[in-house]
């Protein structure tokens, strides 16, 4: 029964996301839906205990969603063979920059909140 509750709740959040995307544009509808879902959980408008089991199952089986993407990469083997080193370098460099930025920003905000208390 919790699975139906979870599916209905996620579907309604996605539907709201589509409505927002249709009126405002900008971000993808699924991203609006995730934000709405997160806000609903945060403000306890959704019973987190009822969705936990279904969400854990979805995360556990998430790999199935990424297998087609991995297989699709093989279709572009020549492109990866030609530019693979550059793609890997850019991926690692951008990830390092992002993690560094988030870490520095977090430390800055932590120090700022510590000095105000």
Structure tokens at 85: 């080193």
pLDDT at residue 107, rounded to an integer: 92
Does the pLDDT at position 98 exceed 80? yes
Band the pLDDT of 20: cuts 50, 70, 90.
very high
DSSP 24: H
pTM above 0.85, yes or no: no
3-state secondary structure string across 86-115: HHHHHHHHHHHHHHHHHHHHHHHHHHHHHH
Q: Which residue has the higher pLDDT, 117 or 45?
A: 45
pLDDT at residue 117, rounded to an integer: 66
């Amino acid at each position: 029964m919790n699975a139906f509750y979870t599916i209905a709740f996620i579907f309604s959040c996605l539907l709201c996301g589509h409505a927002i995307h249709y009126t405002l544009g900008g971000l993808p509808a699924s991203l609006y839906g995730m934000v709405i879902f997160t806000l609903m959980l945060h403000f306890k408008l959704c019973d987190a205990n009822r969705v936990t089991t279904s969400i854990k199952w979805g995360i556990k089986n998430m790999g199935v969603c990424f297998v087609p993407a991995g297989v699709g990469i093989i279709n572009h083997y020549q492109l990866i063979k030609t530019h693979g080193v550059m793609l890997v370098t850019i991926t690692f460099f951008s990830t390092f920059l992002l993690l560094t930025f988030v870490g520095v920003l977090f430390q800055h905000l932590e120090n700022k909140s510590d000095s105000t208390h």
